[in-house]
Amino acid sequence: MLCRLSLLAPVLLALAGPALAQPGPGGPPAVGVVQAKKQPVTETSEFVGRIQAISRVDLVARVTAFMQERHFTEGAEVHTGDVLYKLERAPFEAQVAAAAASVAQAQAVLQGSSLTLGRAEALLNTPAGQRSLVDDARATQRSQAAQLSNAQAQLRLAQTNLDYTEIKAPIDGKISRTTVTEGNVVSPSSGVLATIVSQDPMYVLFPVSVRAATDLRDRYGGKGGGFGAVTIKLRLPNGKMYGQAGKLDYADPTVAANTDTLTLRGRVPNPLLPGSKPGEPGDRELSDGEFVTVTLEGVQPVDQIVIPRSAVLSDQQGNYVWVVGDGNKVEQRRLQLGQNTPGLAVISAGLKEGETVVADGVQRVRPGITVNPGPASTGPTLPASAPRT
């Protein structure tokens, strides 16, 4: 059987050869084309940013004393005025009592000197009165009044130090772990006892190159919106889009010399997650110091010329498309791209609305050839937003 097949093979090839060698009918290559059209596109730009608490307070001791009590759970949320630490009060209560006694004594002495001055002034117009006695009494009375003021100041200082034995929360926020435990002596030199960081809202700070900042200014500055012309959206480290939108509220007035960037800042809500309690792990999605992807999105869509992304080709000179002109002849056209997605290309310059470009079969096109155009399999579609590439 094998011998028979080997003998038949040359004969079959000889019969099939003429048919295989004959080319098909010639003609222009078929391509799919689309028209460049204007569509409303939501302009966006992406940057890398970091979340930062709006308020951050380091708690320190204002007096030297033993720490007696701690009244918070580490990692919990505290509120303005909550007592967080209690220090030993007895020495400071004694100082307040001593200062109060000094005030009482100074008041008594002042009262006596005031009576003496009154009697001296009453006798001044009598034969027994002397101007020198009045002057001495008045000087004594003023000296005693000054001593009373000093005693009152010492009382206020002692009361202030007594108040410092209770360390209270100056802001609402989440408190860190404590660095000093009960029974230790603390003082102003002990350093930070704990830190409170605010939770809602949060800042997001992100550096923008001067070129990108100029582009943003040109894109949104002339629309009269300023910061209000864009909204901030965040992508979390796990790739999930954050559900709350924010607003720009600050731009650095100075360019960083070492990076040639400007820092922009936005304010973003950071509410409790549904079903979470304040202070629980993971009760909010944004945390101080977290890295995120920041998307600046235009509030109002802008009409732009769009074509399918598959129609755009690239070489060493940049981006280009094949444009079908009169007589179905093809020419190469250089482009400047705006914002793109994998399926959509926004054209900044190089194409006019209504021009026809090759979207399917671009590999069969050469400059100057004639093509047989037909509808492309897909035309330009509008996504929800077009992130900058």
Q: Is residue 378 predicted with pLDDT exceeding 90?
A: no
DSSP 208: E
DSSP 179: S
Instruction: Count helices and strands (H / E) in the chain.
Output: 4, 24
Provide the β-strand partners of residue 247: 267
Most confident of 132-141, 186-195, 313-322: 186-195
Task: Report the share of the chain in percent with pLDDT over 90.
Answer: 31
For the residues 338-348, what does the mean pLDDT come to? 70
DSSP state string for 340-365: EETTEEEEEES--TT-EEEEE-GGG-
What pLDDT score does 230 carry? 79
The half-sphere exposure of 58 on its side-chain side, counting CA atoms within 13 A, is 6
What pLDDT score does 222 carry? 58
Supply the mean pLDDT for the chain: 81
Q: Which is more confidently placed, 217 or 234? A: 234
For the residues 236-251, what does the mean pLDDT come to? 88
8 Å CB contact between 379 and 34 = yes
8 Å CB contact between 339 and 43 = yes
What pLDDT score does 5 carry? 42
DSSP 28: P
Most confident of 5-19, 103-117, 343-357, 366-380: 103-117
For residues 171, 175, 181, 184, the Cα torsion angle rounded to the nearest 10 degrees is: -30
pTM for this model (two decimals): 0.66
Task: Report the share of the chain in percent with pLDDT over 70.
Answer: 82
Alpha carbons 295 and 311: distance in angstroms, whole number = 26
Alpha carbons 46 and 25: distance in angstroms, whole number = 51
Q: Is residue 180 predicted with pLDDT exceeding 50?
A: yes
* 45-55+200-298: CATH topology: Elongation Factor Tu (Ef-tu); domain 3 (2.40.30)
* 30-40+302-375: CATH topology: 2.40.420
How many C-beta neighbours within 10 Å does residue 210 have?
13
Alpha carbons 358 and 364: distance in angstroms, whole number = 10
Residues 6+ apart with CB under 8 A from 159: 96, 99
Q: Is residue 317 predicted with pLDDT exceeding 70?
A: yes
What pLDDT score does 239 carry? 86
pLDDT tens-digit map of 127-164: 655 777 777 778 888 888 898 899 999 999 999 999 99
